[in-house]
Each structure stands twice: as C-alpha cells, then as structure tokens.
Structure 1
Amino acid sequence: MTRRVSMIILAIALAGLMGFGAWTVLLKPSDLPPDGFSRGNGRIEADLIDISPRLAGRIAEIRVREGDRVSKGDVLVVMDTAELRAQLARAEAAVESAHAAVGVASAQVDEAEARLALAESEATRTERLASRDITSQANLDIKRTEVSVAEAGLAAAHATLRSRERSVDAEAAARDEIAARIADATLHAEGAGRVLYRLAQPGEIIGAGGNILTLASLEDVYMEFFLPAADAPRVVIGDEARIVADIMPDRAMPAQVMFVSPQAQFTPKQVETLTERENLMFRIRVRVPPELVEARADQVKTGVRGVVWVRLADPDGHLPSWPVGLTPPLIDLPATAGADTP
C-alpha cells in the first residue's frame, strides 16, 4: 500500500513538472517589451539613386568605382561632347552674325530717318513757294508724297531692326540650349552617397536615361518595420526611437519616427509568428540622424537587420522615459541585454 501511494505521488509530481515545462515553453510570455514600448524587426535601408545621362551619347570617363563614397557636387561621369562643342561653335558664330545684322538694320534706320528729315524739309520749302505761287501745286503734291514714302521707309527699317534683334535672341537661345546639353553631359552627385553598382564602362554608347551608376544615398538612411494595430496609433511622429542592429546587439542607435502609415495592411513576410500574421499591421519608418550617418559613413551598410524600439503614448499623450540601456548615442547596453531585450 505504501509503495502504491509513493508511485501515485511520483506520477503526480512528474505530471506537474511536465505541465509546468509545457506552460513555460508554449504559453508563458517571454521577451516581451516593457509597458509603454514596442518594437519591430527591420533592416537598414537608403534611397537608391540612378545616375543617367539626359541625352544619348558615348561615355568619355567614369571617375568612381563600386564602393567609393561621394559628396555633393563630385563629378561622377563625363559624356563625350565633341559633336555638341562643334554645334556650340556654329551657334556662337550664328549669334555673332545676328549681332552684325542688327548693326546693319540700325544703320538702315538712321538712313531712313535722314531721308525723312530731308523730305520734310523739302516739303516745307515747297509749301512756302506754293503759297507765293512760285511753284506748282503738282510739285507740292510730289514733295508731300515723298514725305509719306520716307515715313513708310522709316517704319520698315524699325521693323527690320526689331526682327534682327529677335533673331539675336533666337540664336542666343539655341546657343544656350547646346551649352546646357554640354553641361548636362557632366553628371554630378546631388548629395552624399556611396556607389553600389557600376553598370557601364567608358567608350560605351548609352541611350537617354540609361543607367551608368547606382548610388545609395547617405542623406536619408532609415529602417522600416511593422507594428500591430494596437500599438501603431500610439506611436508619435517626430518622437525618438532606438535601433539595435544584429551586428551590434550591445549598442543602441538614436533615430526619429518619420512616418506612420495611415492605412493598415497584412503582416509582411518579416514577421514570423502565426499570431502576428493574423493581425493587420501598420508600416512605420524611423530615420537615422544625418549627422550620425556622416560621422560613421564608412560603417553604414544597407541591408543590416535589427530591431527598432519605439515609445507608446498613454491616453494623455505622455511618453515613458527610455531605459538606461537604450539611451543614445551608441552607448553600451547592459551585459544581459541582446538585440531583442533592452
């Protein structure tokens, strides 16, 4: 009897132990964020910029290679402009010719004004003579007609002058257009970045808009992640955030919440638990401060995965204080903390 009771007690103890183990593994919440905080998985990203010529042409020079860091204003690619420079020389000659034509038209205006002045003077003298019956009325009519002809000639000379001046403007515009094409043939970096791909080589002919280089912009480095509908509305745009990269699990990077999607969507493939997959999620973007990117530009790598921590506002709009281990900039986290635990 005593042995049987002992067996029953042992069985109950084993069942209790197995039940506790199952609850610990399957049911007990583990590694949950503290109250007032939420997190999501994501990866470091940056906007990609394609470097392309506006016009088709031959590549004369590429001054960067894959992996090179570039700054705003750096020359990246130079297209061949021999044909354009010949067109520019012809356009400049046309402008000079148009200026010369303006000079001729201006001289014609001076000549027409002199003819008109002479005709008016002769008409005045003839009118005085006709008033004293010294000359005929027919002669007076002729002088008056000559004045009208001279006036018409002056008007025509002014019209010709205006036409020649507009020709100068047209030729100058054509010259400036060619000069703009030559300027566009030198491709510059519009901001800080790093060369990811070099897709062509000097000597190749590239169509208009054809990609020569692809840059990763270092002016807007960010991470996107997803939060459930219960947490996303409590995230404040403009608030601080923290990024813990997988490659640096003991360090936290400061960031700023830049975007919270106004529309819910199904859980993206990054989220792995079945429970989260059944919920609608909101896309959120946090941006790494540009000054931090600039200071550590050589260490910035797109595609690095990590965890983003954000604060959740309470109903009164108050935000909790950051735990010591998630205080920026880039300080060591507690020895017991990892990428998923502050």
Structure 2
Amino acid sequence: MSIKTTSAALLAAVTLLAAGGCAGDRNQYDATGNFEATEVVVSSEVNGRILEFPISEGSPVHSGEQVGLIDSTQLHLQRLQVESNILALESSRPDIGEQLAPLEEQLAKQQRERQRVENLMKADVTTEKQLDDITSAITVLEKQLDAQRSALGNSLKSIDAQIAAARAQAEQLEEQLAKCRICSPIEGTVLAKYAQAGELAVAGKPLMKVADVNNIHLKAYLVSSQLPQVKLGQKVKVYADFGGDEKREYEGTVTWISDRSEFTPKNIVTSDDRANMVYAIKIAVPNDGYLKIGMYGGIKL
C-alpha cells in the first residue's frame, strides 16, 4: 500500500470517528437550542445633548433606575413660563359674589321700600304711582343683576378653560422632562452602550441594550412526535454546554410552546434528523451566573 493510499484511509477513519462523535453528542438530548434572555433596546425619546451617561457595558441596572440625563434646560424654562401664566390667570378670576354685592344690596333696599309703600297704600297714605315706580326700579335692577351674573359667569368659564389648557401644557412639559431622564425599563445588565455623554441624542436613537440575565431561558425545538411528551409547567432537565466535556445540569420549566410549526433552523439538530418541521419551546432556567446568552444547550424530557 502506498503512502498516499494510507493517508487517504487514515483521513477517512478520522472523519468517520468525528462524525460518530458528533452524532452521539446530538443524540444524547431530546432537543437542543440556545439560551436567550429578555432584551430591551432603550432609545432616546427627546432631542438634546446627553449630559450624563456614566454606565458601562456589564453594569447591573434596576427597573426604573435613572442611568443618564439629557439636557432639559429649555423644557424647564417653558414649564416655568406656563406656571407663571397659570398664576396670572388664577389671580384674574372674578369674584362673582363680591362684584354682584352692590346690585344685590340695591335690589334688597328697593324691595324693602316697596313693602313700605304697599303698607302705606293700605292706609291710603301714598299713591299707586309711587308703587309702580318702585316696582319698575326693582325690575331694572333684577335684569341688571342677571346680565352681570351671566357676564361674570362667562368670563369665569373662559378663564377656567384657559387655566385647564395651561395645566395640560404643563403636564405635557412635565412628561417631556421625565423623558430626559434615561432609565432602564427592566432589571438586568447592560449588554451594549451606543452613546456617550456629550453626544447629541435624537428621538428614536438607541442608547443602550439591557437584558434580564437573571431570568434566562433555553429556546429549543421539538418534532411533532415529541409534542405529546411536553406540557406547560413541566419540569425538564436542561444541560448547558461550556465546550469540551464541561457541562452543567439545571432544572427548567416549560413556559411556552409554539402553536405553529416551522422549518428546522440550520444550527439546530433534533433527535430525528429526517424531520424538517419543528415546534419551538422555551424553558425557563434559573441563572447561577454561569449561563450566558447564545450558549448552546440541550434538554431531556
């Protein structure tokens, strides 16, 4: 046998051994996939220069925690102006009772005078014309009072409407001021940082990516024949592959089963290599700090 033939045979043998090893590794799990986590890309909601953004990749963040600040000087000045307008409008609100008091006093005086004249008429001391004059004066005062009350009421409604509009504007500015604070919407770790202090933030521009690495899950794929063996809430064995012979075993819980089949992803191998349609499932796994996003893993039902 020539050296060339011997080399070819040796290469074929190594290839078969490698293929057998891969097949054995694939077949030791009922399904395989990759570890994932809930990832959120935090984007700017306002335009402005970033004044503070001290976090770095790998930094832990809490839900609602402020991690940066965008310049809000102009918004703050606008809010002060609106608050001043509200104070001015409130001070201009008419006191209806105080402004109507003089007319009401005149009307009450004329009504008392009419009562006196009526008593005098019963005693034939005065004339009916004097009573008519007082009655006419009372009618005029009542109309003046109604007109004044209506005018003051309309003025008050107009001012109140302006105050309500100004307060709504103040609330909008307050909301925009809140958006100047860069906050993490979830508890997690900063995976990527896309901006730095001093740069200009534009509404919609990504600032950072945060992932909840404490609550990680394995997204694996099952063939239809395996679905009867799986249900929501079921406990399964999850194995994380750290490379070489190093593996860790975890207890996971099935939290989601897809209701639609899909073609087998290229990087996923099921126990049935001939199957080309699979169902995705997610298994929640408590992270002890060793599990990383994108890591390869497998499950045993």
> TM-score if structure 1 supplies the norm length?
0.71
For residue 174 of structure 2, give the secondary structure of its aligned residue in structure 1.
Answer: helix
Alpha-carbon distance in structure 1 between the residues aligned to 2:49 and 2:235 = 48
- Using the TM superposition, give the Cα deviation of residue 113 of structure 1 relative to its aligned residue in structure 2, in angstroms: 3.5
Q: Which residue of 1 aligns with 2:97?
A: 109
Q: Which residue of 2 aligns with 1:149?
A: 144
- Using the TM superposition, give the Cα deviation of residue 202 of structure 1 relative to its aligned residue in structure 2, in angstroms: 1.7
Alpha-carbon distance in structure 2 between the residues aligned to 1:165 and 1:30 = 79
Correspondence for 1:287 among 274, 279, 284: 284
1:118 matched to 2:109: no
Alpha-carbon distance in structure 1 between the residues aligned to 2:247 and 2:258 = 30
Which deviations, in whole Å up to 9, do the C-alpha atoms of 1:102-146 show, x marking residues without a partner?
2xx01x432214312322431442465375316263553233112
Q: Which residue of 1 aligns with 2:9?
A: none
> TM-score if structure 2 supplies the norm length?
0.80
1:63 matched to 2:58: no
Residue 198 to residue 31, structure 1, CA distance change in 2 (3 Å): closer
Alpha-carbon distance in structure 2 between the residues aligned to 1:42 and 1:94 = 61
Q: Which residue of 1 aligns with 2:39?
A: 48
Residue 144 to residue 219, structure 1, CA distance change in 2 (3 Å): farther
Number of residue equivalences: 273
**5+ residue gaps, structure 2:** 1-15
Q: Which has the higher contact order (CA 8 A, sep 6+)?
A: 2
Residue 273 to residue 149, structure 1, CA distance change in 2 (3 Å): closer
For residue 252 of structure 1, give the secondary structure of its aligned residue in structure 2.
Answer: strand
1:241 matched to 2:211: no
Alpha-carbon distance in structure 2 between the residues aligned to 1:159 and 1:191 = 50
Which deviations, in whole Å up to 9, do the C-alpha atoms of 1:228-261 show, x marking residues without a partner?
1111232021011222111173420121101111
Please tell me the root mean square deviation across aligned C-alpha atoms, in Å.
2.8
Alpha-carbon distance in structure 1 between the residues aligned to 2:42 and 2:235 = 33
Alpha-carbon distance in structure 2 between the residues aligned to 1:199 and 1:30 = 42
- Using the TM superposition, give the Cα deviation of residue 71 of structure 1 relative to its aligned residue in structure 2, in angstroms: 2.0
Alpha-carbon distance in structure 1 between the residues aligned to 2:24 and 2:251 = 25
Do the aligned residues in 2 keep the contact of 1:80 with 1:185 (CA within 8 Å)?
Answer: yes
**In the alignment, residue 57 of structure 1 is paired with which amino acid?**
G
- Identify, as 1 or 2, the structure richer in strand: 2
Alignment of 1:59-208 (within 5 A): 59-102=50-93, 105-106=94-95, 108-126=96-114, 128-129=116-117, 131=121, 132-133=126-127, 135=130, 137-138=132-133, 140-208=135-203
Residue 31 to residue 186, structure 1, CA distance change in 2 (3 Å): closer
Residue 300 to residue 274, structure 1, CA distance change in 2 (3 Å): closer
Correspondence for 1:259 among 256, 259, 264: 256
